[in-house]
Amino acid sequence: MASISSDKNGNRTIQFVAGDRKRRSIRLGKLPKKSAETIKSKIEALNAAAIAQTSWDAETAAWVGKLESLLYDKLATAGLVPLRNAGKRITLAPFIDDYVASRSDVKPGTALVYAQTKAALVGYFGQSKAIGDITAADGDDWRRWMATKGKRADGSVRKPLGPNTIRKRCSVARQFFRSAVRRRLLEANPFGDMKGLGIKANRDRQHFVTREDAAKVIEACPNAQWRLLFALSRFGGLRCPSEHLALKWADIDWATNRFTVRSPKTEHHEDKAERIVPIFPELKRYLIDAFDPEAVYVITQYRVANSNLRTELQRIIERAEVRLWPKLFQNLRASRATELAAEYPAHVAAEWLGHSTLIAEKHYWQSTEADFDKASSPQSDALQNPVQSSAVSPSKGQDPVTTSVGFSEETQLSSDSDDGVVVRLGFEPRTKGL
């Protein structure tokens, strides 16, 4: 809480205890008590936000934006608001470097995304661009720039990025600049109002890897380790490489035909650090072939940082004379997710693969050629019994609905409607003209 004191001449001073537990004083001079009370309430709000490292509420932000320089500078000296033009003294590249250095908690994959976003920002704005000079309109221009072919700020040529990649870059840029606002370096986030940054499913890059193609690729694998790597993706649905490399032989419970998958990607979510997955019959033989009682990890090769599993898998697929699919490892996981969803309840299939049914429906599940073949087959239940396909089961004592193609007397067809459309009669009285 802040307090107001007055001297004998009527000069008012507001005192408060800052986050470092030191008392700060802001001299207001001669001011009506009501005005001093208003400033006191705003100082309390600013101090609370500074201590909690949160953004100002809309009312406080609007009040700060209208302040004259004299009071604003006093608040800045007390550490309640950023120094005027502070953002103009901090340049883009060092600012991002400082942010990334402070995020030692992120995974290597996230750190790579940070580096890619920095490269995109610096590529457009240049390294020495002051963060305070970047406006919301500049952010929109940068977003459009990433979608086109052209040159970077240093003159090098670049290729256009895909829609989802652009959304991710913009989302991370918004994260960078949100930290600048929280540190009182900026009053507003130039990327804060960007819309449509959620990653969307790209149907053009979906592909169901058939079991026939999977068998050919496994046959072309150079050793048991690679066969298991592939099988864990296609038949276990694991995320590659993080979940493969985390898998230990101690996680394999041969007695219950289950194994524990540890997921670095989801470990920060409550109860999502690991999941139990069946040892599917299609997977078991490759686990047995690769078993090494002396080893700790299931995958002992390709554990170094520079192992390029994607490039090697591409070579294996080409050697198998199978057509390359767009997303080499993710399509394998999605293929398994699709199979499991067709065979088991949706929540069970999603739990085994470590994602929600919403995510699975949006990014993983897909219709397959087998689905179309089954639907159009002469043996299809819907074709054999079109009348009953959506009917409820008959009650006890009632005759079951016929299963033959055709209709009973009560459901004769008639073409005597005014517009010539064939209609079915029965169950309701004929009411011509309605």
Tokens of 120: 């995109």
> 345-351 long-range contacts, Cβ below 8 Å, gap at least 24?
351/275
Write the DSSP symbol of residue 91.
B
The closest alpha carbon to 296, from 246, 225, 230, 255, belongs to 246
> Tens digits of per-residue pLDDT, 238-264?
999 999 999 999 999 999 999 999 987
pTM: 0.55
Q: What are phi and psi of 204, to 5 degrees?
A: -65, -25
Contact 290, 228 (CB under 8 A): yes
Q: Looking at residue 411, what is its pLDDT?
A: 40
Residues 133, 101: Cα–Cα separation, whole Å: 23
- Relative to beta strand 150-151, strand 157-158 is antiparallel
- Relative to beta strand 23-30, strand 413-414 is unpaired
Least confident of 11-20, 229-238, 378-387, 409-418: 409-418
Residues 306, 301: Cα–Cα separation, whole Å: 12
C-alpha torsion angle, residues 288, 293, 297, 303 (rounded to 10): -90
pLDDT at residue 429 tops 50: no
Cis, peptide link before residue 241, omega less than 30° from 0: yes
Beta strands in 47-117 (DSSP E): none
Tokens of 429: 């009285």
Q: Looking at residue 81, what is its pLDDT?
A: 86
Q: Domains of the chain by range and CATH?
A: 3-81 (no CATH), 88-182 (1.10.150), 209-371 (1.10.443.10)
Question: How many degrees, rounded to 5, is the angle at CA 334 between CA 353 and CA 269?
Answer: 35
Least confident of 47-61, 207-221, 323-337: 47-61
pLDDT, mean of residues 310-338:
94
> Tens digits of per-residue pLDDT, 127-183?
999 999 999 999 999 999 999 988 888 888 889 999 999 999 999 999 999 998 888
Q: Which residues contact 80 (CB under 8 A, 6 or more apart)?
A: 43, 46, 47, 50
The closest alpha carbon to 217, from 228, 206, 207, belongs to 228
Residues 86, 91: Cα–Cα separation, whole Å: 10
pLDDT, mean of residues 381-389:
50
Q: Which residues contact 204 (CB under 8 A, 6 or more apart)?
A: 326
pLDDT at residue 392 tops 60: no
The closest alpha carbon to 327, from 110, 162, 134, 80, belongs to 162
pLDDT, mean of residues 293-312:
87
Residue type, 210: T
Contact 228, 287 (CB under 8 A): yes
Residues 173, 114: Cα–Cα separation, whole Å: 9
Contact 124, 142 (CB under 8 A): yes
pLDDT at residue 325 tops 80: yes
